[in-house]
Structure 1
Amino acid sequence: MSYSESVQPLFHPFTLGNLTLSNRIVMAPMTRNLSPNGVPGSDVAAYYRRRAENNVGLIVTEGTVVNHADASNQEDVPFFYGKESLDSWANVVSEVHKAGGKIIPQIWHMGARGNVNDYSESEVVEIVNAFAQAASEAKRIGFDGIEIHGAHGYLIDQFFWEKTNERTDRYGGSLVARTRFAEEIVKACRDAVGPDFTIVLRISQWKGIDYSAKLAKTPDELKQFLKPLVDAGVDIFHCSTRRFWEPEFEGSELNLAGWVKQITGKPTITVGSIGLDGDFMALFTEGKGATNAGIEGLVQKFENDEFDLVAIGRALLVDPEWATKIREGRLDDLVPFTPEALKTLY
């Protein structure tokens, strides 16, 4: 069997409710800080369209911040509020749809204060409402769903993690209680968009300040953690790991996406250094590049029904034709991930 034949399972269609994708390849959300004053320009629309034209089944946009004063502390991150920003996002959606692609925004609150214990309950409610407003706007301007960013040590994840959440009210305490903030966000978004609009939740065990962190240390704890989120209305879990091939718990080869799918029965997206020969964090923290790696192990896990979709980050960031080249077996044409290539961000 040729390489191009072996990867064909990743190019089978996927349908969930009203969402139908041409294949299983997802563009992972990647912050680029290229939206001056929070407004994504025509260059952003062209950037996403190029991936849609090249066999990316679903695009998840870079993180877009909700309408709350403390949502961001970075310049040129796109907003998901205000007429100018939303009109520009509508143009992005139009360009992607013209190319035959599907696209969802990642809606995000960075938790810029870095301390969830400082938020009053009334302010928590304001943030929940800001997410719901963003979800409503996403549906209005034609997106195909939303992704809520609940990973990597940002605000929602700060509520999840016992080391950052020391609250003594209803948003703190037990593992289940620490999910309440996210649960309320998902419920509010579901109420805003109705039953047929896809809601993805991105989760991770690791944090930007602790790569070995575990929200759930056992499968049973993971089950406790996930149940309120499923009940709230999550359709797909986007399970972020540093290395997709690593087992999540001892005694099983399942990665995080595999465990989440087994526990919930919900579709999952796997992500983590796919298509690269190195750990993606080292590519940045140590200034390393990476050559392209085969994805045969990924395909085997996919065919074992461990997950439904695969998200590609850095490999697709530097090479908009990555999915097309993989599908056609043009491995020699793949663009390596290097600091020089990264500067293009095209």
Structure 2
Amino acid sequence: MPSALFTPLQLRSLAVPHRGWVSPMCQYSCHPETGEGVPNDWHLMHLGSFAVGGAGLIMSEAAAVNAEGRISPLDAGLYSDEQAAGWERIVRFVHQNGAVDCRIGAQLAHAGRKASTYWPFSGRSGSVAVSDGGWATVGPTTDAFDGYAAPAAMSEADISQVVADFAAAAYRAVAAGFDTVEIHGAHGYLLHQFQSPLINTRTDRWGGDEDGRNRLMLTVVDAVRKVIPESMPLLLRISASDWAEGGVDVQASVRLARAAAERGVDLVDVSSGGAVAHQKITVAPGYQAGFAEQIKRDAGVPTAAVGLLTSPAQVEDIVANGRADAVFMARAALRDPHWWLRAAYELGHDIPWVPQYQRAVPRHGF
């Protein structure tokens, strides 16, 4: 039987060669001396290795839409022409050197109240002080994430500006040659902060009921959809559950996904968590796949699953049984940047190898 994982997926005019994709993974490796938020050789190597390894679609790490939206001072951005030029070089490499006809997308993000933090391998935690290169953060209210500096509550002008910043970053992504764009609305970052009732206690039109709390995310969807080509697919990453009482649940996420699809989102990338520190996540292999399955079924929108998806048999089962249309992998890809070549072999499916690696094509065992 042919492998379901290695069948193509058509999203608008974009033909993705198969359904095994690379999840966005922040590298915290943009060095200020070579340009704020500018991707460099590390990012070329990191993302390029997955293309050589047979990935069907690679999603960039979260690229901030403005300087204050960076998670840390070492995060990438897409708010300057210099940053766009850095990304263009990486996009070109992926397109020219993929084992399959590899595609690459830009994830656009704003960290909101979780911005201006120390990177994971810095040896420190919490917010970076302004005196150490940090900055004042913003959010829906002045409530801080646990252990972080309190943000400023965003004004109407602030909100209008961040919507414009998402659109401008999407425009730069198109100019840099990306094949698709993903809006990051998950993991407790700005759009999710507005969505979650555990964070957003505003009483104006950007808060209140579910429609008000979803308004910023959907307004960003409208703004981005307007500036990217009609032929280009638009993806949206969401946290399907806050894993905390009174927070976003999967039923609310179904309603959000349905509304996003009506506004031109072509696939929902289904993750979870990140809104609050007191979340209680039940972690197990494939623990978020059920969210992707329910949103696909009840919202009638294509989905991608993510989260502790590691083995070829596991992800083949998810796609073959229609639980999700594609699978994003992160840690498994870091452990084995050629995961897709090995997976194809284990599933009895042939995919191309780059010419430089032809001598390693398995004949009697991987």
Category of TM-score, reference length = shorter chain = 0.7 to 0.9
Runs of 4+ in 1 over 6 A off after TM superposition: none
Q: Taking structure 1 as reference, are residues 29 and 232 closer, same or farther at Cα in structure 2, changes over 3 Å only? A: same
| Counterpart Cα distance in 1 of 2:241 and 2:286 | 15
TM-score for the superposition, normalised by structure 2: 0.76
Alignment of 1:224 with 2:255, yes or no, is yes
TM-score for the superposition, normalised by structure 1: 0.80
Equivalence for 2:56: 57
| Counterpart Cα distance in 1 of 2:322 and 2:284 | 18
| Counterpart Cα distance in 2 of 1:215 and 1:268 | 22
Letter matched to residue 181 of structure 2: I
| Counterpart Cα distance in 2 of 1:17 and 1:73 | 31
| Counterpart Cα distance in 2 of 1:213 and 1:272 | 21
Letter matched to residue 83 of structure 1: D
Please tell me whether the aligned partners of residues 38 and 82 of structure 2 are also in contact (alpha carbons under 8 angstroms).
yes
Equivalence for 2:127: none
Q: Taking structure 1 as reference, are residues 62 and 73 closer, same or farther at Cα in structure 2, changes over 3 Å only? A: closer
Structure 1 residue 315, shift from structure 2 partner: 1.0
Please tell me whether the aligned partners of residues 180 and 233 of structure 2 are also in contact (alpha carbons under 8 angstroms).
yes
Please tell me whether the aligned partners of residues 181 and 233 of structure 2 are also in contact (alpha carbons under 8 angstroms).
yes
Equivalence for 1:189: 224
| Counterpart Cα distance in 1 of 2:307 and 2:23 | 10
Please tell me whether the aligned partners of residues 202 and 237 of structure 1 are also in contact (alpha carbons under 8 angstroms).
yes
Query: Which ranges in structure 2 are unaligned for 5 or more consecutive residues?
Result: 116-136, 142-152, 273-282, 348-366
Superposed CA deviations along residues 181-218 of structure 1, whole A, max 9, x for unmatched, are 011000000111132211100001345xxx44675446
Equivalence for 2:126: none
Count of paired positions: 296
| Counterpart Cα distance in 1 of 2:250 and 2:91 | 40
Equivalence for 1:236: 267
Please tell me whether the aligned partners of residues 56 and 102 of structure 2 are also in contact (alpha carbons under 8 angstroms).
yes
Equivalence for 1:102: 103
| Counterpart Cα distance in 1 of 2:40 and 2:71 | 20
Structure 1 residue 70, shift from structure 2 partner: 2.4
Please tell me whether the aligned partners of residues 106 and 147 of structure 1 are also in contact (alpha carbons under 8 angstroms).
yes
Structure 1 residue 301, shift from structure 2 partner: 2.8
Equivalence for 1:93: 91
Equivalence for 2:286: 245
Letter matched to residue 298 of structure 2: I
| Counterpart Cα distance in 1 of 2:212 and 2:63 | 27
Equivalence for 1:201: 236
Sequence identity, in percent? Answer: 30
Match 2:321 to one of 298, 304, 325: 304
Structure 1 residue 84, shift from structure 2 partner: 1.6
Where 1:62 maps in the other structure, the secondary structure is strand
Higher mean C-alpha displacement, 223-232 vs 18-27: 223-232
Equivalence for 2:20: 25
Q: Taking structure 1 as reference, are residues 258 and 213 closer, same or farther at Cα in structure 2, changes over 3 Å only? A: farther
| Counterpart Cα distance in 1 of 2:285 and 2:17 | 23
Where 1:64 maps in the other structure, the secondary structure is strand
Higher mean C-alpha displacement, 299-308 vs 82-91: 299-308
Structure 1 residue 115, shift from structure 2 partner: 3.4
